[in-house]
Amino acid sequence: MEKLEVLALIPARGGSKSIPRKNIKPLAGFPLIAYSIAAGIAAETVTRVIVSTEDEQIAKIAKSYGAEVPFLRPAEFALDNTPDLPVFEHALKWLQENEQYEPNIIVQLRPTSPFRRVWHINQAVFRLIEHPEADSIRTVCVPFQNPYKMWQISPEGYMKPLLKTEGAEPYNMPRQALPDVYWQTGYVDAAWSDTIRKKNSMTGDYILPLVINSTEWVDIDSVDDWKRAEQLLLSGAISFDELGFCITKD
């Protein structure tokens, strides 16, 4: 098979409410975004690593750690409520119109997942290539809590089960008897570019799972998450050898 063009796109806007300037805040000595850049560069399946940002300081730092930043994202695609799709549609359109570059596969590497293993990226891409009938692939893990035991509270104050099963009360069933469920980790999302361009979707209709160990899942969304992640690195509980990459600055 002719070598495919696989673009790793790292979305990194400047605004962040929970942790100000999160994407370039130093985590154990390196900007948070540098971890995703280094992982993308180290992945044998990835042919290009680009950061999409509207922020010039993020762009400068991203370039210094080896990523390309061929464009600045329009501000209207960098709002608090901006979903992934327009960000990726903009990147693909810009690259096609300005460079005549059309990747076969596009991989999303979120900066808030700094501890993804390089093999997570490679396995996602390899599996998508092995299954061209699929639209996309996402890393998932077994969740810490089963949603069949979760509740909503009605306006009247009564609890109602979030999910139901046929002829049974799942919230009263043993965990082993409940359906298997998986949580999307956000570590690696990979899709054929046509899924985004032609189906106007980040996932399409046929989504493959790449199941990872729940102990590998570390997502940074709060100050407490940040402290925990930093401690894992500084204590040696997570190492760069384990992650499969090292961080270097140009």
SS (H, E, C) 166-229: CCECHHHCCHHHCCCCCEEEEEEEEEEHHHHHCCCCCCCCCEEEEECCHHHCCCCCCHHHHHHH
Tokens of 104: 């076969």
The pLDDT tens digits for 12-25 are 998 777 788 999 99
Question: In the structure, what pLDDT confidence band is assigned to residue 165 with cuts at 50, 70 and 90?
Answer: confident
CATH 3.90.550.10 fits 6-140+183-243, yes or no: yes
Q: What average pLDDT does the segment 175-200 reach?
A: 92
Bridge partners, 26 (sequence order)? 31
The pLDDT tens digits for 140-154 are 998 888 899 999 999
Question: In the structure, what pLDDT confidence band is assigned to residue 86 with cuts at 50, 70 and 90?
Answer: very high
Domain-by-domain residue ranges, the chain?
A: 6-140+183-243, 144-181
Confirm whether pTM is higher than 0.85.
yes
96-99: long-range pairs with CB below 8 Å, 24+: 98/70, 98/71, 99/70
Bridge partners, 153 (sequence order)? 159
Degrees to nearest 5, angle at CA 113 with 131 and 193: 35
d(CA 119, CA 45): 10
- What's the alpha-carbon Rg for the chain, to the nearest Å? 19
Q: What average pLDDT does the segment 99-108 reach?
A: 97
Question: In the structure, what pLDDT confidence band is assigned to residue 137 with cuts at 50, 70 and 90?
Answer: very high
